[in-house]
Amino acid sequence: MNLKKWVAAATFVFTLTSYADNIVPVSEETHSTAAALRDKAFKDDSAYEILKSLTTEVGARHPGTPGEKAAIEWGVNKLKALGFDKVYTEDVKMNGWLRGVETAEIILPSYQKMIITALGRSKSTPKKGLEAEIVHFKNYAALEQAPDGSLKGKIAFISNRMERFKNGAGYGPANIARSKGHEIAAQKGAEALLIRSIGTDDHRNPHTGATNVAMGYTEVPAVALSNPDADQLVRLLEYGHTPKIRLNIQTKDLGPIVTKNVIGEITGSERPDEVVVIGGHLDSWDLGTGAVDDGAGVAIAMATASLIKSNTDKNPRRTIRVILWGAEELGLIGARAYAKAREEDGSIANHIIGSESDFGAGPVYGLQSSNNISPNALHVVDTMASLMGELGVTRRPGNTSGGPDMIPLAALGVPAINLMQNGTDYFDLHHTPDDTFDKVNPENMRQNVAAWTVFTFMAAQWPGSFK
């Protein structure tokens, strides 16, 4: 071997050794405990029972309503009853908004009632409603193309349908009409905005949802039509009619209110300051009882931590912090406040890894990790995926923020994983009156908790760094 080859070989061996030095293996014990937890969780109905209680004994949980107040109390009491070591709440200031009257009718060319709902923070129509012809746009981009001021005295109607995908990929492209359509409609001079619901069903249920307004009101009244009603308008247009609509929306700006993040912890036995964050959002839209969005996530996270706690006398090394996020639907309000406070007090550095369950109650099929996870921790995520293999979960490529309420934490560099759920039917129910407990399959809830116990336990117990 010449010198050059020797140096190359020695460098290679040295690199391998130092790489191996940084890799903290998953111990036999951690591996077998995670497998046992998974098997135990798969036979345990506690998440289903927690969800039943939340959706039945509390119901809808929209910020600023008695339902939200009851949910916060429910969360505190339930976390205590489940044996969490520490239970507390954190106040979050926000602006409240409530829906009131919402009716719509086609008055020409024939009289027909329509099923509609106001979008979040929609402004009211005049007290007696308004009457106007609709102008049809095939999508948001088409509305953008209309000349400014060209819709004076008209209602802008956007009719494109959200596409159905297992991973919900149709949501983002369709959603812009809901979030920003009101601004463009106002710019074009329209009296109001009417959109086809952002949903994949064919039921006569409208889908509500947030607009991009943080406080106050949308620029014009902004309303979603049920899918069959949107189809009806499109057919009338195809017959060559110009439908005239009567619309009455009355909503209320509640001004400043306080919501809360509800937090329960399983205190770490060796590194209590290091935190693994899991959770779901406690608030829901007001139309249904928030079973799939996001009572399921709340229940999965609570059951996961509680199962880990009750499994042995000794808690995992790190603290498991279950956060029932407040006011997600109106713009991740609780999550933003939480992240801002941790950035300011520096405790963001102790957030080791996190994830939120907020994509319904379908089974988990994939495990993704964020790009910022240390290469030396990827083998742990791979081990989690292999332990979840029996549940039908496989390791998936792609970056993730770990769920909506994790976005502010991910933006501050907290590593995240995503337990990808089958959301093929999620947008049939999402934000509708049909989001109710009966839609949830108990076996899928068990499967979710089984996967979540593997992730949560290993993240809290494996002593290496994810950063």
Residues that bind Zn ion (CB under 5 A): 293-294, 358
- Pick 97 or 359: Cβ nearer Zn ion: 359
Phi and psi, residue 155, nearest 5°: -110, 125
**CB contact burial 289-308 (16+ within 10 A = b; e otherwise):** bbbbbbbbbbbbbbbbbbbb
Give phi and psi for 198, each to the nearest 5.
Answer: -85, 85
Output 46 or 357, the one with its CB closest to Zn ion: 357
Question: Residue 292 or 391: which CB sits closer to Zn ion?
Answer: 292
Rounded to a whole number of angstroms, the minimum distance from the CB of residue 359 to Zn ion is 8
Helix crossing, 28-41 with 296-311: angle to 10°? Answer: 130
Q: How far is the CB of 328 from Zn ion (least distance, A)?
A: 6
Q: At what angle do helices 46-53 and 66-81 cross, to 10 degrees?
A: 150
Smallest separation (angstroms) from Zn ion to the CB of 288: 12
| CB of 302 closer than 8 Å to CB of 345 | no
CA geometry: angle 261, 265, 266, nearest 5 deg: 165
CB of 293 to Zn ion, least distance (A): 4
CB nearer to Zn ion: pick between 30 and 444: 444
- 358 or 434: whose CB is closer to Zn ion? 358
Look up residue 290 and give its two tokens: 């928030």
Shortest reach from residue 358's CB to Zn ion, in Å: 4
Q: How far apart are CA 107 and CA 413, in angstroms?
A: 54
Half-sphere exposure of 420 (CA within 13 A, CB side): 22
Q: Give the β-pairing of 318-325 and 271-281.
A: parallel
Residues paired with 276 in a beta bridge: 320, 353
Shortest distance (Å) from residue 281 CB to Zn ion: 5
Whether 353 contacts 274, CB under 8 Å:
no
Structure token digits, residue 36: 């046992």
CB of 89 to Zn ion, least distance (A): 20
Whichever of 132 and 410 has its CB closer to Zn ion, that residue is 410
Give the residue with the Cβ less far from Zn ion, 137 or 325.
Answer: 325
CA-closest candidate to residue 455, choices 324, 316, 361: 316
Sort strands 318-325 and 244-266 into parallel, antiparallel or unpaired. antiparallel
In the bound state with Zn ion, the residue whose beta carbon lies nearer, of 139 and 211, is 211
Structure tokens given for 364: 């988990």
**Shortest distance in whole angstroms from residue 399 CB to Zn ion:** 20
Shortest CB 197 distance to Zn ion, Å: 16
Q: Strand 116-118 relative to strand 222-225: parallel, antiparallel, unpaired?
A: antiparallel
Distance of CA 123 to the CA centre of its chain: 25
Residue number with CB closer to Zn ion (102 or 293)? 293
- Reference 225, options 156, 150, 166, 293; nearest CA is 156
